[in-house]
């Protein structure tokens, strides 16, 4: 009487391990890139929140100078937000420009390291496609 074995041979197991390693080698960099892209929303949202605060302040005071409640870091901490640089027209600051700079784990995102938003709504970044994606 002959016994049949069940299970995997060592070669079958090694083939599976090799396939998983190849898939991981391909998938992990894509995953990391997607994580960096998703964190960009954190910086953009902080800039938009500051813009809203600045516009409320301007509506009440007629100037962007002396506005309170501005963020200095994004909500999740992936971007530092520079204090708005106010432009002047006579005695009143009637324009601003503010920038979010990647920090911490997001600092490795060289494609979109900075985002800038102005009082006219102009959006610039390290590369032209950063605000779109």
Global pTM reads 0.79
Asked if the structure places residue 3 within a domain, the reply is: no
What pLDDT is attached to residue 88? 65
Question: What confidence tens digit (pLDDT) does each residue in 36-73 have?
Answer: 999 999 999 999 999 999 999 999 988 888 888 999 99
| Domain count of the fold of the chain | 1
Question: What confidence tens digit (pLDDT) does each residue in 83-120 have?
Answer: 887 776 655 688 899 999 999 999 999 999 999 999 99
CB count, 10 Å around CB of 107?
A: 12
What pLDDT is attached to residue 16? 95
Asked if the structure places residue 1 within a domain, the reply is: no
Rounded percentage of the chain residues whose pLDDT exceeds 90: 73
Asked if the structure places residue 133 within a domain, the reply is: no
Asked if the structure places residue 64 within a domain, the reply is: yes
Name the residue range of residue 17's domain. Answer: 10-125
Q: What's the burial of 66, exposed, middle or buried (CB within 10 Å: 0-12/13-18/19+)? A: exposed
Question: What confidence tens digit (pLDDT) does each residue in 1-26 have?
Answer: 667 777 788 999 999 999 999 999 99
Asked if the structure places residue 5 within a domain, the reply is: no
Q: What is the dihedral of CA 62, 65, 70, 73, to 10 degrees?
A: 140
For residue 59, the number of C-alpha atoms closer than 13 Å in the C-beta half-sphere is: 6
């Amino acid at each position: 009487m002959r016994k049949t074995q069940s299970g995997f041979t060592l070669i079958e197991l090694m083939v599976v391990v090799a396939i998983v390693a190849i898939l991981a080698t391909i998938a992990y960099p894509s995953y990391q890139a997607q994580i960096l892209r998703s964190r960009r929303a954190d910086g953009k949202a902080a800039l938009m929140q500051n813009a809203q605060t600045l516009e409320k302040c301007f509506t009440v005071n007629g100037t962007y100078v002396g506005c309170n409640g501005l963020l200095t870091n994004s909500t999740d901490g992936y971007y530092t937000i520079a204090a708005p640089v106010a432009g002047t027209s006579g005695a009143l600051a009637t324009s601003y420009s503010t920038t979010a700079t990647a920090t911490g784990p997001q600092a490795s995102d060289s494609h979109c390291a900075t985002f800038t938003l102005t009082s006219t709504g102009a959006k610039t970044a390290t590369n032209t496609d950063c605000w779109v994606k």
